[in-house]
Amino acid sequence: MSENTEHKCDCAGIHLDIEQYIQKHKGDSGALVQVLHYVQERLGYVPKDVQVKVAEILGVSLSEVYGVITFYSLFRERPRGKYVISICQGTACYVRGAPEVLARLEKELGIKAGDTTEDGLFTIEVVRCLGACGLAPVMTVNKDTHGRVTEDKIPSIISFYRAQAEAESSQVAGD
Ligand code: FES
């Protein structure tokens, strides 16, 4: 699978805002983290080209920027998919088969946890507890909760969201 890190956003306005924000906060203590928060808020992730821009304007090394991004798990280097699948690997879920469910998810989607499918539809994220331990094993797909998931249920869950995405895109095309 290719590394989906290329930033294809051509939204010049957002980029200008980001550049102005970086300039404005240059020299502030904690500017780097603050700026990265802002970028992620505007773009949903922190692309490589923006990391370079942040380093240049703040006068820090690219490895320092990268170090902060990888240290704080809230920062992402890649865009997330249309459907974010959060699969719980907390204790209650783990003992009820969550690792097998995760393995099936990875196999069905052809990606590993933390990655996004090439069509941009699905991202798999591993979480530690979704607060619904009584339904273990649990996963969420965006705001939908799926409880007592078994690996055999994965193909139909994936198909459901694929069909939903197709229906939405054909609706948009037909507008
Ligand atoms: S451990 Fe999975 S929902 Fe709590």
Task: Identify whether residues 66 and 130 lie together within a single domain.
Answer: no
pLDDT at 2: 41
Is 110:154 a contact under the CB 8 Å cutoff?
A: no
Pick the residue whose CA is nearest to atom 1 on ligand 1.
90
| Residue 7 banded pLDDT, cuts 50, 70, 90 | low
Domain assignment of residue 2, yes or no: no
Task: Identify whether residues 59 and 128 lie together within a single domain.
Answer: no
Task: Identify whether residues 146 and 109 lie together within a single domain.
Answer: yes
- Quick: pLDDT tens for 95-143: 999 999 999 999 999 999 988 999 999 999 999 999 999 999 999 999 9
Domain total in the chain? 2
Give the helix/strand (H/E) hosting 102. Answer: helix 98-109
Task: Identify whether residues 67 and 87 lie together within a single domain.
Answer: no
17 has a pLDDT exceeding 90: no
Task: Identify whether residues 95 and 149 lie together within a single domain.
Answer: yes
Is 47:14 a contact under the CB 8 Å cutoff?
A: no
pTM: predicted TM-score of the whole model, two decimal places: 0.73
Q: Which residues line ligand 1 (CB under 6 A)?
A: 88, 90-93, 129-130, 132-133, 136, 138
Residue 126 CA, ligand 1 centroid: distance in Å: 11
Q: Coil, strand or helix: which one is 116?
A: strand
Task: Identify whether residues 23 and 88 lie together within a single domain.
Answer: no
CATH at residue 142: 3.40.30.10
Q: Which domain holds residue 92?
A: 83-174
| Residue 11 banded pLDDT, cuts 50, 70, 90 | low
- Quick: pLDDT tens for 137-170: 999 999 999 999 999 999 999 999 999 999 988 8
Mean pLDDT of 40-59: 91
5 has a pLDDT exceeding 50: no
Give the start-end residues of each E strand in the chain.
Answer: 83-88, 122-127, 139-141, 144-146
Tell the residue number behind the tokens 């249920």, with chain if given. Answer: 153
- Mean of the per-residue pLDDT values for the chain? 90
